[in-house]
Amino acid sequence: MKAIRIILWFTVAWTFCLAMLGAYVRLNDAGLGCPDWPGCYGRITPPQEHHEIAHAEKHFGGDVDPGKGWKEMIHRYAVGGLSFLLLGTLIAATRKRKELHIAPAILAAPVAVIVFQALLGMWTVTMKLMPIVVTAHLVGGLTLLASITVLAGRASLPQQTLALRNWVWLALAAVAAQIVLGGWVSSNYAALACDGFPACRGGFAPPEGLLQALHPDRQLGLTADGQALTINHLAAIHWLHRLGALLVTAIVGALAWSLRRSQPRWALLLGAALFIQLSLGIINVAFGLPMPAAVAHNGGAGALIILLTALLASTRSEKTHANISPELALAR
């Protein structure tokens, strides 16, 4: 039982690191480092020798960049490793499901998500970094992180009542929406579209073209009508993400403050994660998106997801607790 719990949290850590690795690949513009899937130019490793590169350029077209190819393939290898690790972990957890008090739906969720993630990874390449697909791939990775965290939390964290559980759900929904907006910023390469802070291009009103920029059915760099996106479109995307940051700060900050007496450790962790994430966002704008800060900003989103889902997994509402018999509550 102890080993299963350790492996579950190790899987959480692997998934968290994988999310940041995916961000690193995307920020290095290496998402198309391999134009095919699941291999790289028809190979299991990127071409490196001159004759291999010449062969790849002849059959696939374009210039071959072995460095970008390796970044993309290392990410794919890590995904494969996670798949095998998750499969073995779920098999072990299923055999001890009753002892771990895990519902079948919680066990099935990571499997469904990782299968869909594999499809999104393929579509990211075949659909040439279409923003809606890239954003969905990012959201899917953090959804996988959340589902595995719930699994680990239910299996290992002590259960307790929490009157503010509905507020935790609200905070999780706000963070999830902000992650979608962040993914839209990243997939449209709009991270530096607002040249200033806290104002965006010298003002606080939304730049023109917000609705066109949010249209999901369009290719990278184009509007739905096939026209090139302007700097105003990109700034509008970034402006909306900043607005979302204010909302998340208000909700998560209020939750952390409300938990300071009943759950001081959770309050401290949530407050610290929120502060670090906001600081990283400002650093990215002020210093021109330095790679360590940009990757860490993705990790900050993952950290908030882990904390909020683990808190939910370790608690139940007081109303639910009151409807459970003492014998069943003790068994849980």
* pLDDT tens-digit map of 201-220: 889 999 988 999 999 999 99
- Cα separation, 2 vs 302, in Å, equals 25
Instruction: Please check whether residues 217 and 270 belong to one and the same domain.
Output: yes
Q: Quick one: pLDDT at residue 330?
A: 39
Q: How many CA atoms lie within 13 A of 28 on its CB side?
A: 18
Return the closest-CA partner of residue 162 out of 330, 3, 8, 313: 313
Note whether 137 and 171 are same-domain residues: no
Q: Which of 72, 99, 208, 327 is catalytic?
A: 72
Of the residues 156, 183, 204, which one is the last residue of a structural domain?
A: 156
For 315, the 3-state DSSP assignment is strand
Co-location of 256 and 241 in the same domain? yes
CB neighbours of 239 closer than 8 A, spacing ≥ 6? 194, 200, 206, 207, 210
Residue holding tokens 């204010």? 246
Q: Is there a contact between 280 and 203 (Cβ–Cβ < 8 Å)?
A: no
Q: What is the largest CA-CA distance in the chain?
A: 72
Q: Which of 156, 172, 195 is the last residue of a domain?
A: 156
Q: Please write the tens of the pLDDT for every residue from 103-150.
A: 888 888 998 999 999 899 889 888 988 999 999 999 999 999 999 999
Co-location of 203 and 323 in the same domain: yes
Please tell me the total count of domains within the chain: 2
Q: Which of 109, 137, 156 is the last residue of a domain?
A: 156
Is a pLDDT exceeding 70 seen at residue 226? yes
Asked if residue 192 lies in contact with residue 288, where contact means CB atoms within 8 angstroms, the answer is: yes
* CB 27, CB 295: distance < 8 Å: yes
Rounded CA separation 36/146 (Å): 29
Residues 51 and 94 reside in one and the same domain:
yes
Which residue range is the domain that position 182 belongs to? Answer: 158-332
Pair 221, 101 in one domain: no
Per-residue confidence (pLDDT) for residue 195, from 0 to 100: 84
Residues 216 and 74 in one domain: no
Reported as a pLDDT band with limits 50, 70 and 90, residue 283 is: very high
Residue 3 and residue 73 share a domain: yes
Domain shared by 152 and 173, yes or no: no
Q: Clarify whether residues 202 and 260 are in a common domain.
A: yes
**Same domain, yes or no: 239 and 200:** yes
Are 56 and 132 in a shared domain?
yes
Instruction: Give Cα separations from 246 to 137, 184, 215, 252, 294 (angstroms).
Output: 25, 17, 23, 10, 19
- Among residues of the chain, what percentage have pLDDT more than 90? 72
Q: Is residue 72 annotated as part of the catalytic site, yes or no?
A: yes
**Which tokens is 253 given?**
């900050």
The answer on pLDDT for 321 being more than 60 is no
